[in-house]
A = this chain, B = another copy of it.
């Protein structure tokens, strides 16, 4: 049964796991194909190559053209530290406190992710290990205008600083010169080192290749529109990048005992991001699904972003009826959701069986929105089923490892024999002879 429960209100796709074609129906609901836009790709390639060749001049020109600012040179497009600090007095006391509380909690959580170098010594004196080092310089892209999210600054900047990145460079476009004080305040609180008011593919290019004014970075993180995402894909290899995110998703597993208004609002909090966001509710209780449907119909009219919410719910949401909580977990593992709410009496009982999810919100009190802002864990999470193989953004994304190998004379002699056999088996005789030189009693010693 795949019907849209229309009634008078919002139409929501309903699936029943015992239906013979459930698998296929679920695949259809989940299908998401980011259309590759050839024109965007061409525009981005031009911008990248122009900035690579002409540096600051190209960046200033694009910024005048796309963002309507009047700067004539790059130095006018930097926000100096004093101006950043000033933002802290331009926002409300309540906002400043909220940012600080969130930043503290995010910092404390991420400090647990720090990795330490390690090594061990074998009996013959050979030392093996791993040296963990922070990246030197990281670029943080922050969208400007309406989609400017101070929480996103905290979530990207704090893990980088906890990792020990020495220079964190933020870019944020200011369309028509309009700056967002909350974004600047978040940058000040998270310890961003430099801020340039540039955006789009030109900002990504400046960070990747460097200009006379903007230093080249080792990695670029942060969300952006299709031009930014395309530019990041293109410069990958020259610099590291974070994941390119798809539309945001929430999956709620509910035992039917949570206030249906709460669940409706939790689904809305995902749906209000954009029309392609996906909200899925799984329960064994058909009557409960109907109650949430009623709450949705009742609450939708009260929402500021009701047009986006209803487009998202009607286009991409699903209510899935299952046999029991175990089956709910199996369906969830199949989906590998970005956000998973376990709105059940005993979430700990389900946790060990959860294999794939970006973040797991346990119990009726743990609304996803709390995690988006101030719980502590990161809100940059793998979307579109990529939680099968990827992780939340973390300190580990700003550190990298070097293997350490230090052979003693004895160790090199013993292992030289092993390497020699294997290298000759592969026909790589320079490898073999290089190892053999280190064998005691060989011609080289």
Contacts A271-B430, A358-B403 given: A416-B370 contact, CB under 8 Å? yes
Who on chain B is nearest to A362 by CB?
B406
Q: Which of B271, B391, B409, B411 contacts A401 (CB 8 A)?
A: B391
A-B contact pairs, 13 of them (CB 8 A): A95-B425, A98-B425, A112-B118, A150-B426, A269-B434, A272-B430, A305-B428, A356-B400, A367-B412, A367-B419, A367-B438, A369-B423, A372-B423
Report chain B residues within 8 Å CB of A368: 434
Give the shortest distance, in Å, between A171 (CB) and chain B (any CB): 18
Contacts A240-B386, A403-B377, A430-B269 given: A356-B133 contact, CB under 8 Å? yes
Report chain B residues within 8 Å CB of A212: none
Known: A360-B402, A374-B419. 12 other contacts (CB 8 A): A94-B421, A131-B351, A348-B406, A356-B402, A365-B407, A366-B406, A369-B430, A370-B412, A373-B415, A374-B422, A381-B403, A396-B396
Is the pair A268, B430 in contact by a Cβ cutoff of 8 Å?
A: yes
List 5 tightest A-B contacts by C-beta distance, closest first. Answer: A240-B389, A377-B403, A365-B412, A362-B406, A268-B430
Is the pair A389, B435 in contact by a Cβ cutoff of 8 Å?
A: no
Is the pair B390, A240 in contact by a Cβ cutoff of 8 Å?
A: yes
Is the pair B400, A437 in contact by a Cβ cutoff of 8 Å?
A: no
CA separation between A370 and B382, bound complex, in Å? Answer: 38
Q: Is residue A219 within 8 Å, beta carbon to beta carbon, of the partner chain?
A: yes
Report chain B residues within 8 Å CB of A360: 131, 402-405
Who on chain B is nearest to A406 by CB?
B362
Q: Is residue A6 within 8 Å, beta carbon to beta carbon, of the partner chain?
A: no
Segment of A7-15, A58-66, A81-89, A258-266 engaged in the interface with chain B = A258-266
Give the shortest distance, in Å, between A308 (CB) and chain B (any CB): 10
CA separation between A289 and B398, bound complex, in Å? Answer: 37
Q: Which of B113, B309, B405, B421 contacts A430 (CB 8 A)?
A: B309
Report chain B residues within 8 Å CB of A371: 403, 405
Residues facing B in A301-319 (CB within 8 A) are 303-305, 309
Q: Is residue A40 within 8 Å, beta carbon to beta carbon, of the partner chain?
A: no
Interface majority SS (helix, strand, loop, mixed), chain A? mixed
Q: Is residue A286 within 8 Å, beta carbon to beta carbon, of the partner chain?
A: no
Is the pair A387, B409 in contact by a Cβ cutoff of 8 Å?
A: no
Contacts A268-B430, A401-B394, A434-B266 given: A415-B112 contact, CB under 8 Å? no
Residues facing B in A135-153 (CB within 8 A) are 135-136, 146, 148-151
Q: Is residue A363 within 8 Å, beta carbon to beta carbon, of the partner chain?
A: yes
Q: Is residue A347 within 8 Å, beta carbon to beta carbon, of the partner chain?
A: yes
Report chain B residues within 8 Å CB of A428: 269, 272-273, 305
CA separation between A403 and B359, bound complex, in Å? Answer: 4
Who on chain B is nearest to A303 by CB?
B430
Report chain B residues within 8 Å CB of A403: 358-360, 371, 377-378, 381, 392
Residues facing B in A217-234 (CB within 8 A) are 218-219
Q: Which of B113, B388, B432 contacts A136 (CB 8 A)?
A: B388
Is the pair B422, A373 in contact by a Cβ cutoff of 8 Å?
A: yes
Give the shortest distance, in Å, between A35 (CB) and chain B (any CB): 13
Q: Which of B130, B359, B437 contacts A259 (CB 8 A)?
A: B437
Q: Is residue A408 within 8 Å, beta carbon to beta carbon, of the partner chain?
A: yes
Report chain B residues within 8 Å CB of A409: 365
Give the shortest distance, in Å, between A161 (CB) and chain B (any CB): 16
Q: Is residue A102 within 8 Å, beta carbon to beta carbon, of the partner chain?
A: yes
Give the shortest distance, in Å, between A240 (CB) and chain B (any CB): 3
Q: Which of B149, B389, B437 contacts A219 (CB 8 A)?
A: B389
Q: Which of B351, B384, B402, B417 contacts A358 (CB 8 A)?
A: B402
Give the shortest distance, in Å, between A148 (CB) and chain B (any CB): 8
Is the pair B98, A367 in contact by a Cβ cutoff of 8 Å?
A: no
CA separation between A118 and B114, bound complex, in Å? Answer: 13
Is the pair A408, B365 in contact by a Cβ cutoff of 8 Å?
A: yes
Is the pair A373, B418 in contact by a Cβ cutoff of 8 Å?
A: yes
Q: Is residue A199 within 8 Å, beta carbon to beta carbon, of the partner chain?
A: no
Is the pair A437, B401 in contact by a Cβ cutoff of 8 Å?
A: no
Contacts A120-B112, A354-B131 given: A99-B422 contact, CB under 8 Å? yes
